[in-house]
Structure formats: structure tokens, C-alpha cells
Amino acid sequence: MSILFWVILFTVGSGALSALTAGLFLMLPEHRRQRVLPHLVSFATGALLGAALLGLIPHAIESVGIENTHGIGLALLGGILVFFVLEKLVLWRHCHHDEWDVHPHDAHTHGPTHQQRDAASASLILIGDGFHNTLDGVLIAAAFLTDVHLGIVSAIAVFAHEIPQEVGDLAILLQGGMSRARALMLNLLTSLTSVIGGIVGVFALGSVIEYLPYALAIAASSFLYVAVADLIPGLHRKVDISSAIQQFVLISIGVALIYFTHSAA
């Protein structure tokens, strides 16, 4: 099968399944969602770390040769800085959408109401999520252009961290006044923008194949940034021994899934 077919298959699968799974998850009672979501975040953290450190970075270094690893390091560092700036601009947000800072306005001012701010937040989420998923598609394409099994590993990692993010996105859309059906549909459509990114990535990166290792390094920086900057700080909010053990086990399971998927190549 062609690389384009693989990329379309896994970007459609990853995008659609993460959005639909989040939709089903949101239908659970609130107390169950609060119990399950931290476990999903722990698993996603392990999958992202495993994909970056066991799959993407080793392949990038192997492709350029040990004498050119400095360039891979620069691409990795540059990617982390770019994602830091993007998150600062609120174009890319992960997992903590339920903690928006909304301040009440004085009755004598003409500032936006809570409902208007919630609606604006919902629109911003859709824009940011569409951009984020398009970039995910490009990164998945870079992995598939290098190796089909590496592409599968990357798609699994994207799927794993998308579920908790999509749950947060849906919560914001519903809070912004959307009906459940409209929120689910718009969230699904923004998830499928990864297909556009994947197709563009196949043709754009395929024409400059010598730069693929650096694209892999940028993909790795994305995974590392999300895991270390967004997910792990949330896990540290629980400091009891039981939670720590559960988090460690689930992170290890995420890493193990990536390891065995990749080693089966």
C-alpha cells in the first residue's frame, strides 16, 4: 500500500476515534469522568514519551548519522521553543481547558458577559484545535515517510493524548452554549483536519526527503513538550502514594505499548 494511503488511514482513524471516544466519555456521569480522566492522562504521557524517545529521535539520529546529531538537537530545541510560543498565544492548549480564568465584571461596566466569554472561548478552542490537529497530521506523515511502523507508533501516541484533550474541548464547547450534537460534530470536524495536514505533509516532505530526520525531531519535540509541560504537571497535583503508583504503572504501560509496537517492526 502507498504511503499516502497509510497516512490517510491513520489520520482519519486517529482523529475520528479520539473525537468519538471523547464524546462517549463525556456522556459518563461526572464522578466517573473525574475518576477515569487522570488515568487516561497518565497513559497518554507514557505513550508520548515512548514515541519521542524510543521511536522518533533514534530514527532521526540514525538517518543523519552520528556525526550530524547536532542538527537534530537544534531541531528538537527549536520545536520545543515554537510550541512554547504557540501555547503562550493560546493557539495550542492541552488537557487543562476546564481551568479558564473568568473574572466577574462590575455591574456598571460594559465588558463582556460570562456567556459571551464562554462563547468566545469555544470559538478559540475550535481554531486552536484545528491548527493543532493539522500539525499532528504533518508529523504523522513525516513518520510514515520514514518507516510505516514508526508512523503507526506516532499515530498511536497522537490518539492517546488526543482523548483527554478532546474531552476538555467538548466541555468548553458545551459551556459556550452549543448543543451536545453540534459540539460533537464540530469537534469531530476539527479532529479530521489532521487528514489535511497528513496529505500536505506527504507531498511537501516527500519532495524534500533529506529534511525528514529534522521533521521527525520536531515531531518528537511536540510529543515531549505536551508530555512534560502540559500533562506531567497535572499529574503532580496528586501527591499521595496510591496515586503516584497508579500514575507510574499507567505511564509504564503507555511506554511499553509503544516499545512493543515499534519492536514488532
pLDDT, tens digit, 9 for 90 and up, residues 150-195: 899 889 888 887 777 777 677 667 766 777 788 888 888 888 899 9
Q: What is residue 7's predicted lDDT score, i.e. its pLDDT? A: 94
CA distance 188 to 49: 26
- Which one, of 169, 188, 163, lies nearest residue 128 by Cα? 169
Q: What is residue 53's predicted lDDT score, i.e. its pLDDT? A: 92
Question: Could you give phi then psi for residue 8, rounded to 5 degrees?
Answer: -65, -45
Q: What is residue 264's predicted lDDT score, i.e. its pLDDT? A: 59
Q: What is residue 116's predicted lDDT score, i.e. its pLDDT? A: 52
Answer whether 86's CB lies under 8 Å from 92's CB.
yes
| Residue numbers of the chain with a pLDDT score lower than 50 | 91-112
CA distance 57 to 157: 14
Q: What is residue 99's predicted lDDT score, i.e. its pLDDT? A: 46
Q: What is residue 249's predicted lDDT score, i.e. its pLDDT? A: 96
pTM of the model: 0.68
Place of cell 474531552: 167
CA distance 146 to 158: 17
The total of other beta-carbon atoms located within 10 Å of residue 185's CB is 14
Q: What is residue 101's predicted lDDT score, i.e. its pLDDT? A: 44
The total of other beta-carbon atoms located within 10 Å of residue 196's CB is 15
